Amino acid sequence: MTPHSFDLSDPLDPLLSLLPPKERPRVDEAVDGLHHTNHRLWLAEDGVRIDPDDAVRIADGKRVIDQLNMDRVRFAERLDELIGAACPPAAMTAPLHTEPISSVVDRLSVTVLRLHHTQRAAVGDPSIGSRVVGVQEQVHDLREALTLLAADVAAGRRRLPSGKRFKLYGTTPRTDTHPAPSPHLPRVIALGGLSECGKSTSGIFLNRDEGAARFKIGYLLTQAAARRGLADPYALSPTRQAELLLDELNRFADAHPDIDLITIESVHRAESIAALKAMMGELLRVVYVDVPLNVRLARSGGDRRALEEKDRVKTDRGAHRIPANEVVDNSGSVTRLHGNLRRLASPAVSTRLKTIAPEDLRLPSTVRAATSRLVDSLSALFGEKCLVALTGSAVHGGWREGWSDIDLLVITEGEHGVRTSRAVEEYRAALEELGGIHLGATILPLVEAQVRRLPNRVLAALVMLQEGAPALLTGPGLRLPVITRREVERGTPTALAEAVATTRRLRHDPGRGGIRPLYKHLILICRLLLREQSVWVNGNDDILSEAQRLLSGLGPLDLPSLPEVIAAHRNGTDRAAVLGAIEAAVDRLLAWHRRQCAA
């Protein structure tokens, strides 16, 4: 525990009162971090002096001291940056103070620590007691001087110099070549922009919804510098900073080869990110999040002067000049931002899908003929950017007349919405005339598909199409994001919860829980439970078999065969017995699911 309280809220109050409320805790963190680092430095330096002949201890201690000095600089510069945002503009005629606020705080911190250690030493050595009074006076004088300085700066009566330290620990020129990206390094999105533009919001979304590993660029730099005993990575050349960043990214990627995306935030230094881009090439996509000042000000709730001062700090570093591959306008809705981020996380690519002629489908001839007429109608409407596909049992096999549905997926740019809907409705009517075949049609705008704002079942259908399931119609200009099984599996728990809730309603709503809906939802739940375990299975029999084998503790569901279920549904054959068996199986599955959640 750091000795003695180091509360500077009173001396710094004239400046802290000018900061937005959310910035004050950041000042406290910087002050506490600086004081705690000074405490550790004191102990580390004492540790080196224990045995002057112990070369190993001295070498290790030197590494620790260098790292702590780097931390000390980082906390001091952070404090000056925060204080600078609060300082009102002082006239150029105002006297210039000899040192920044952080230097006074640092000296006060060290003096407080000296008082603590002097008091401890005086307990065993009365001759040291006279020094205690002298150090106490120094603490008092420094606090008073800091109070007066803060008041003068807050009133614009005194100017402060820059707080940059420009330390040069471990900056000996290197002769080795630049590092290369690791084979395990995935795509990296670097997010830049001015204050309150939404960089952190973007990083959080990509981490939460896209599974990206999220880093602050400052963290990567300080971690890489610490490994090499460098005190101040920001004093290095842009190329050397880029080398450190790439090396740290490589380390993480090699240790986490399952990560598909990394984001780094707070990209402010134009030259270093340009050097990193030169080393990483297409693996790095630099994104500038752009928001007008008035929008940022309204969203932050802060005062204009403080925001402009923070912008100045960033633009001095080149934040507005970063070599962006793409500019994202974040002045609109969150939905729009999320769509842009999804598109960046999985950029659309030219899609060449396998196709099948309707005549080659394993469906009754009358259904094939109706499907062929649909394809002819849609072919006349669409240009190059379209997708028409049947999904489910209609293409995977196992379609049963009088039982199975036809599931249709249409993705189009949307210019022909009315005519597309008319063609689909004609197809629906034709299927209804062929024995009451139900059509489940999903018609989606291409832009929603490109940002992957899609239901889980549609994402799963796109995975199957991209893995070789045939489509009916696809244009050569179609561009879709690559959808992975892992992405679908991440959304499976939500889809499973919806399926379980619907099944419970079917079980308890009189007249709704018939043979067909209960059986189909039982199959759906089993399919989703397996998909949670990365097991993808098609076909009723295979799904049931794998579920009973892999879902530990579920046991046999004792369902009638599918032909018996279909006969009971269509003809009423043994209806009561079949329905009872399905209800018992559904109840068993729901009870098993409840136990798993409770566990």
Q: CATH number for the domain including 447?
A: 3.30.460
Same domain, 212 and 300: yes
Co-location of 383 and 492 in the same domain: no
Share of the chain above pLDDT 90, in %: 52
Q: Say whether both 271 and 378 belong to one domain.
A: no
Distance between CA atoms of residues 560 and 566, nearest Å: 10
Task: Give backbone dihedrals phi and psi of 570, rounded to 5 degrees, phi first.
Answer: -85, -40
Identify the residue with better confidence: 71 or 198.
198
**Which helix or strand (DSSP H or E) is residue 430 part of?**
helix 417-433
Strand-pairing partners, residue 354, are none
DSSP label of 126? G
Helices (H), 229-289: 238-255, 270-280
- Output phi, psi for 467, to 5 deg: -95, 5
Helices (H), 87-178: 101-124, 129-154
Mean pLDDT of all residues in 142-154: 91
Same domain, 334 and 356: no
Whole-number average pLDDT of the chain? 88
Nearest to 535 by CA among 520, 523, 550, 556: 550
Q: Say what the pLDDT of residue 92 is.
A: 66
Q: Going along 310-354, which residue ranges are E strands?
A: 326-329, 348-350
Average pLDDT over residues 227-246: 83
| Separation of alpha carbons 278 and 295, rounded Å | 33
Examine the fold and report which residue of 295, 314, 345 is the final residue of a domain before the chain moves on: 345
Residues 394 and 327 in one domain: no
Mean pLDDT of 477-504: 92
- Read off the tokens for 205: 């979304």
- β partners of residue 440: 407
What share of the chain in percent tops pLDDT 70?
A: 95
194 and 91 in one domain?
no
Q: For residue range 432-477, what is the model confidence (pLDDT) as tens digits?
A: 999 899 999 999 999 899 888 899 999 999 999 999 999 999 988 8
If asked whether residues 271 and 382 sit together in one domain, one would say no
State the pLDDT at residue 91: 60
Q: Which of the two residues, 175 and 62, has the higher pLDDT score?
A: 62
471 and 494, same domain (yes or no): no
| 257 within some domain | yes
Question: At 231, which amino acid appears?
Answer: A
Same-domain pairing of 563 and 498: yes
Q: What residues make up the domain containing 517?
A: 488-598
Tell me the per-residue pLDDT of 275-306, one tens digit each, with 9 for 90 and over. 999 999 999 999 999 999 999 988 877 778 88
Asked which of 345, 375, 395 is the last residue of a domain, the reply is 345
**pTM check: above 0.75:** no
Beta strands 187-192; 284-290: pairing state: parallel
Residue 160 domain-assigned (yes or no) = no
Output 408 or 128, whichever has higher pLDDT. 408
- Least confident piece of the model among 48-62, 242-256, 288-302, 352-366: 48-62
Tell me the average pLDDT across 534-550: 93
Return the higher-pLDDT residue of 382 and 355.
355
The rounded distance, in Å, linking the Cα atoms of 49 and 55 is: 11
E-assigned strand segments in 330-438 = 348-350, 386-391, 406-412
Nearest to 469 by CA among 548, 354, 357, 341: 354
Over residues 78-97, the mean pLDDT reads 79
The pLDDT tens digits for 174-184 are: 445 568 999 99
> Domain count of the chain?
4
Residue 165 lies in a domain: no
| Residues shown for the chain | 599
282 and 420 assigned to the same domain? no
What is the average per-residue pLDDT within 505-524?
89
Shared domain for 421 and 542, answered yes or no, is no
Q: Is 267 exposed, middle or buried (0-12, 13-18, 19+ CB in 10 A)?
A: buried
180 domain-assigned? no
450 and 504 part of one domain = no
In a domain, 33, yes or no: yes
H/E stretch holding 460: helix 456-466
User: Is residue 177 one of the residues assigned to a domain?
Assistant: no
Note whether residue 63 is domain-resident: yes
Q: Is 211 left (phi over 0), alpha (psi -120 to 50) or beta?
A: left
Looking at residue 175, its pLDDT comes to 46
- Tell me which of 217-226, 360-369, 565-574 is least confident: 217-226
DSSP state of 561: P
- Give the mean pLDDT of 510-530: 91
In a domain, 181, yes or no: no
Question: Can you name the residues that pair with 288 across neighbouring β-strands?
Answer: 192, 327
CA angle 324/262/316 to nearest 5° reads 40
Greatest extent of the chain over all pairs of C-alpha atoms, in Å: 108
As a whole number, mean pLDDT of residues 501-515 equals: 87
pLDDT of residue 169: 55
Domain boundary among 326, 345, 364: 345
> In which element (H, E) is residue 35 found?
helix 24-48
Q: Which two tokens stand for residue 351?
A: 């899609």
Highest mean pLDDT (candidates 14-23, 56-65, 144-153) = 144-153
| CB 192 within 8 Å of CB 199 | yes
Question: Cβ(27)–Cβ(81) under 8 Å?
Answer: no
Which CATH number do you get for residue 275? 3.40.50.300
SS3 481: strand
